[in-house]
Structure 1
């Protein structure tokens, strides 16, 4: 009898502990929200038995004091791509499309500009893998008052066909592209003869049992259970239609995301019938065909998910970020466990990784010790040291800043390789052989060095963004040019004020006046831009129009000031300094003109 009561006690204790686990999880995530100053979050976990558990903490609408409910609807940002990719896989399973078919088979009138079209056409699968060689997006794609829930998808490129310029050989390199997933939605529409939202709602979400999810546009006014997004200052952000809606527009619930994750870790059947080919599900997060994959790097992006090696565990993941929201989906197919979390606040300072770490710990996943490095660097590897730039800029109009603010420096010291990103902390790489390296704390090889077909020295980290080696002279030259240009403009601004205070209105006769006025004109659009809604940042407005005008006038004003200084003969030491400042400013402005940053047009 004593043994019976002891066994009963331990069973009850285990049940209480199990029941308390979601409570403890909520406490830990609430602590993260408090410390990171986040408004709220909803989450779901899937255990190895397929049980879905949901939770929430914080506010649906912070200013109104409305608390979140586990059943509230939310947005997920780019995790929408994972769900949309499943729609394409469903069509492929039904034999209605081929992922290896050229995109032109389904979109014959698409004005794609592909220099490799004859030998390497863009294929449907490239869109889902982000290997079509397309840029990511333009500002107006995301922030425009002209977008509506019913705007034709063709508007993404009709306004500017150059967004369809293919920048790398299709299939060879990862380049994250919201435009690419919008084209994938156009393939769905071409094959089904209707709107992609209608097809996916009826033929994907409904059969999966995601009954409170939709690809249709949903606003908080239409559905009060949809949680508001929030900005850093606590301001609420309502749902907004965008041109790139296939890449981010999914309204769902924590439970529905649990249903999706459980299916993604299954054999692809529903009710005993094939729904998505298990061979396709097995390819998720396993890149093929890219230069990095051919060099042996197994991690990367494939069919809507990426292999992610963090927190001592390896899983399939997709993050989601949009105005007002930050989300993460994580699958661990081997253990049949998963989690999803979305924070209804888009913060520039919060560490969202803390929430992921809490959820990984909650799932109690095995964390093997990373293997010790035992390979020796090959002879001559020192030649790989130097500077690397991303080969495809994320925002083409800002290509100069995009490339040179994301530069990597590789240092080779004895048997140690260090990567020093400009915007992140440096980290060590351990050599594992065959030019493959593992970042410290990782389980899998994360980085590969190789020469591409053109002989360029390349670096690919995490199977994603490729970097090409460049001369340090170019890197430092660009930053030196911009820095000296700022010094020159500051001097001209200061010198103009000094001469104005000394001479009053007679300053208009001084050679420097044109440069001074050109710089002051840059301030004219500031009040208009500061009071302009961020939802119109990509539109042509009074503020953006004035900004383009005054930036276009700047080089003309500098040239006129330089001409007048030259005509004056640089009579004094002060005019010589002014002349030097004009030259410094002009060389930087010339660089910006070359990179199409002057005139600065927000709407292109």
Structure 2
């Protein structure tokens, strides 16, 4: 059956549609892609999905749209790889979901809580035998608990995992936690901040949860999750197994980087299964979403109770303040507009799960190019428009002209604790390169020293752009600011530095060559 569907290509997704209205909605999504920020006075440009895939060099995309608490339609687009003879993506094509593994892992851990085998608020070292969370000055008064691990407030390190080549020997869960060198390519998992003091994203913390599940159940994580979480949720096309079994590997898309460069060996392996190891389809993840929505709307399911699901979607506290993290999900809005969401990125793959808890709306998008985040936004915007999602209207901003010679004064590299970015000109336009594997994004001049991008509601403010700016601030949609200092290169060493140039360089990071 799978082989037959594979040959049907793009037609396969349409088999889930039930009437002409749904077909029209799907086509409206495919032809209605738009950027988040529109330019005042210019008509909104609606773009075609397949053409945008070609523009971003994203070989394959899988989409599942949820409406009125049901999966309204699913669709595959493109191919496994950039090669014209590579298999077509269908609704049964597997993608790596990256960190969307974490909500499923949280779901499994909460099953054990409901069964009385695990507590949300006990020190996890009570349950761990093969390995213990190392005690240090941060754990002297506050402990690492399951609640804190699932909400990224446990103070643990190792934010993410690069994965392993298909040629590498894979470490065990225990070896990953120990950071056993040279086998393991990440640091030992430990506590680097007082538990409960702040939100600190940690895949290392989720790997502790992986070990907890193995120790409490006495089974391998991937097998227990298959039996007790994935299959009961109807996610029969999904697996945490690493490496991917041969029977499933022929249905797996190939990972790609910026420019359509294929990942060596087609994909990486992730023994940190609970944090990053899920192989899945958009339809399967949509089944997970609709289970949560169904239970929250008063229809009990066979797995987690309404009480536990509600707890999953409650904002957790850290440092005396409310965070945007629930147990396994990140949260937006409040009340009837509450959204639960998670993104994912493995080498060559990105994913998005985004859903309204009480309105039965949502989407799952999977793609096999980890530089495809702008395309992810454009697809999400189109679905929001077609299905009239609340609080997802486009943003309008004005642009003002700026002399090209002044643009050159802004270029250069800027650095902060978040990393190094580069401002560059391409032709007569200014671009920002975040050095995150995504192509440089065009900066539009808003006024004075402020620029914006159209892909997201982000502003870039050059301080003192009337002269030689040495500081810029990036402000995200939540108002969070990151300050970057320009890297200023002075040639000739300290002896050639003139005191009269000091004001020009006093705010920048000086590098002498």
TM score, norm. by length of structure 1: 0.57
Assess if the C-alpha contact under 8 Å between 2:339 and 2:357 holds in 1. Answer: yes
With over 3 angstroms needed to count, the CA separation of the structure-2 counterparts of 1:441 and 1:252, relative to structure 1, is: closer
With over 3 angstroms needed to count, the CA separation of the structure-2 counterparts of 1:487 and 1:72, relative to structure 1, is: same
| Match status 1:116 vs 2:148 | no
Correspondence for 1:130: 152
Assess if the C-alpha contact under 8 Å between 2:258 and 2:371 holds in 1. Answer: yes
Correspondence for 1:70: 91
| Match status 1:55 vs 2:75 | yes
Correspondence for 2:406: none
With over 3 angstroms needed to count, the CA separation of the structure-2 counterparts of 1:346 and 1:288, relative to structure 1, is: closer
Correspondence for 2:293: 265
Correspondence for 1:425: 459
Correspondence for 2:110: 89
With over 3 angstroms needed to count, the CA separation of the structure-2 counterparts of 1:328 and 1:576, relative to structure 1, is: closer
Correspondence for 1:282: 310
**What secondary structure, in the 3-state scheme, does the structure 1 residue paired with 2:28 have?**
helix
Assess if the C-alpha contact under 8 Å between 1:220 and 1:226 holds in 2. Answer: no
- Tell me which of the two structures has the higher relative contact order, counting C-alpha pairs closer than 8 angstroms and 6 or more residues apart: 2
Cα deviations by residue, 1:493-550 (Å, 9 ceiling, x for unpaired): xxxxxxxxxxxxxxxxxxxxxxxxxxxxxxxxxxxxxxxxxxxxxxxxxxxxxxxxxx
CA distance in structure 2 between the aligned counterparts of 1:270 and 1:143, rounded to whole angstroms: 43
| Match status 1:41 vs 2:45 | no
CA distance in structure 2 between the aligned counterparts of 1:307 and 1:27, rounded to whole angstroms: 29
Correspondence for 2:27: 23
Assess if the C-alpha contact under 8 Å between 1:44 and 1:258 holds in 2. Answer: yes
Assess if the C-alpha contact under 8 Å between 1:284 and 1:306 holds in 2. Answer: no
TM score, norm. by length of structure 2: 0.66
Correspondence for 1:402: 417
Assess if the C-alpha contact under 8 Å between 2:384 and 2:392 holds in 1. Answer: no
Quick check: which one's strand share is greater? 2
Correspondence for 1:305: 329
Q: Which moved more, 1:103-112 or 1:348-357?
A: 348-357
Correspondence for 1:225: 251
**What secondary structure, in the 3-state scheme, does the structure 2 residue paired with 1:67 have?**
coil
Higher Rg of the two aligned structures: 1
In the TM superposition, residue 30 of structure 1 has moved relative to its aligned partner by 2.7
| Match status 1:248 vs 2:276 | yes
With over 3 angstroms needed to count, the CA separation of the structure-2 counterparts of 1:215 and 1:268, relative to structure 1, is: farther
In the TM superposition, residue 286 of structure 1 has moved relative to its aligned partner by 2.9
Cα deviations by residue, 1:284-307 (Å, 9 ceiling, x for unpaired): 34322213xx44x5x601111111
CA distance in structure 2 between the aligned counterparts of 1:363 and 1:290, rounded to whole angstroms: 35
RMSD (Å), alpha carbons: 4.0
| Match status 1:360 vs 2:360 | no
CA distance in structure 2 between the aligned counterparts of 1:270 and 1:202, rounded to whole angstroms: 25
**What secondary structure, in the 3-state scheme, does the structure 2 residue paired with 1:81 have?**
helix
CA distance in structure 2 between the aligned counterparts of 1:420 and 1:117, rounded to whole angstroms: 42
With over 3 angstroms needed to count, the CA separation of the structure-2 counterparts of 1:86 and 1:268, relative to structure 1, is: farther
Quick check: which one's helix share is greater? 1
With over 3 angstroms needed to count, the CA separation of the structure-2 counterparts of 1:135 and 1:322, relative to structure 1, is: same
CA distance in structure 1 between the aligned counterparts of 2:451 and 2:125, rounded to whole angstroms: 40
**What secondary structure, in the 3-state scheme, does the structure 2 residue paired with 1:336 have?**
coil
With over 3 angstroms needed to count, the CA separation of the structure-2 counterparts of 1:369 and 1:347, relative to structure 1, is: closer
Correspondence for 1:548: none
Assess if the C-alpha contact under 8 Å between 1:182 and 1:247 holds in 2. Answer: yes
In the TM superposition, residue 19 of structure 1 has moved relative to its aligned partner by 3.2
- 2:352 pairs, out of 328, 332, 357, with 328
CA distance in structure 1 between the aligned counterparts of 2:451 and 2:314, rounded to whole angstroms: 24
CA distance in structure 1 between the aligned counterparts of 2:392 and 2:172, rounded to whole angstroms: 49
Counterparts of residues 446-595 of structure 1 (less than 5 Å): 446=478, 461=480, 483=488, 486-488=489-491, 491=492, 577=496
CA distance in structure 2 between the aligned counterparts of 1:242 and 1:135, rounded to whole angstroms: 18
CA distance in structure 2 between the aligned counterparts of 1:330 and 1:290, rounded to whole angstroms: 24
Number of positions where the alignment pairs a residue of Structure 1 with one of Structure 2: 393
Assess if the C-alpha contact under 8 Å between 2:138 and 2:192 holds in 1. Answer: no
Structure 2: tracts of 5 or more residues without a match:
1-17, 33-48, 395-414, 422-449, 462-473, 500-509
Correspondence for 1:177: 202
| Match status 1:346 vs 2:370 | yes
